[in-house]
């Protein structure tokens, strides 16, 4: 009887684990907001990237607001501006490390050709998340994001070592 109960608990644990994992996979993106529409942009915020920090350090937005981020890399290294929770940044780090190990991400260059080749085998290597931009020195890009909740977000760079070095800006959602 005891064995049966253990078995039951084991099966239940597995079911619950699958349920929560599948739920969590879809949850983070909705939680942090969504890709915004150009027609709904109500504010433009300029983000300058340096080695290894952003200007500004604090970003103020409102809940429900669609913001156009104009991101410019003024540093000498490749940098990312990724809107995410701290937990998501931590998870994204290893993906970037993989890109570096595969020669896609070089200190001051992105090997786009290799990125395309690798993407056929592993979609993570494309790095085309709607909540981030990855830029070479002197490159500029726009990111339109709609903030839909009060969750604690950070603009961060997940190029290995950069976040730890201070390449992170706090996003205040009021
Ligand atoms: Cu960086």
The CA 117 to ligand 1 mean position distance, Å, reads 24
- Among the listed residues 145, 137, 164, 152, the one whose alpha carbon sits nearest the alpha carbon of residue 72: 137
How many CA atoms, within 13 angstroms, populate the side-chain half-sphere of residue 129?
23
pLDDT tens-digit series, residues 155-170: 999 999 999 999 999 9
End-to-end CA, the chain: 55
Q: Which residue has the tokens 């950069």?
A: 162
pLDDT tens-digit series, residues 106-154: 999 999 998 888 878 776 666 668 899 999 999 999 999 999 999 999 9
Contact status, residue 82 vs residue 49, Cβ threshold 8 Å: no
More confident residue, 114 or 9: 114
The CA 84 to ligand 1 mean position distance, Å, reads 15
The CA 61 to ligand 1 mean position distance, Å, reads 22
Peptide bond into 141 cis (omega under 30): no
Tell me the torsion sign for CA atoms 113, 117, 118, 120: positive
| pLDDT bracket for residue 87 (50, 70, 90) | very high
The CA 52 to ligand 1 mean position distance, Å, reads 5
More confident residue, 140 or 10: 140
């Amino acid at each position: 009887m005891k064995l049966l109960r253990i078995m039951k608990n084991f099966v239940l644990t597995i079911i619950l684990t699958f349920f929560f994992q599948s739920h969590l996979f879809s949850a983070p993106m909705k939680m942090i907001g969504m890709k915004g529409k150009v027609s709904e942009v109500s504010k433009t915020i300029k983000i300058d990237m340096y080695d290894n920090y952003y200007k500004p350090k604090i970003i103020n937005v409102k809940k429900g607001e669609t913001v156009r981020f104009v991101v410019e890399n003024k540093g000498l290294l490749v940098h990312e501006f990724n809107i995410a929770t701290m937990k998501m940044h931590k998870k994204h780090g290893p993906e970037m490390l993989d890109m570096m190990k595969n020669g896609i991400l070089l200190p001051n260059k992105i090997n786009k050709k290799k990125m395309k080749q690798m993407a056929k085998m592993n979609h993570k290597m494309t790095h085309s998340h709607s909540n981030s931009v990855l830029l070479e020195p002197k490159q500029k890009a726009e990111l339109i994001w709609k903030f839909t909740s009060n969750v604690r977000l950070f603009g961060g760079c997940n190029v290995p070592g950069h976040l730890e070095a201070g390449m992170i800006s706090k996003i205040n959602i009021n």
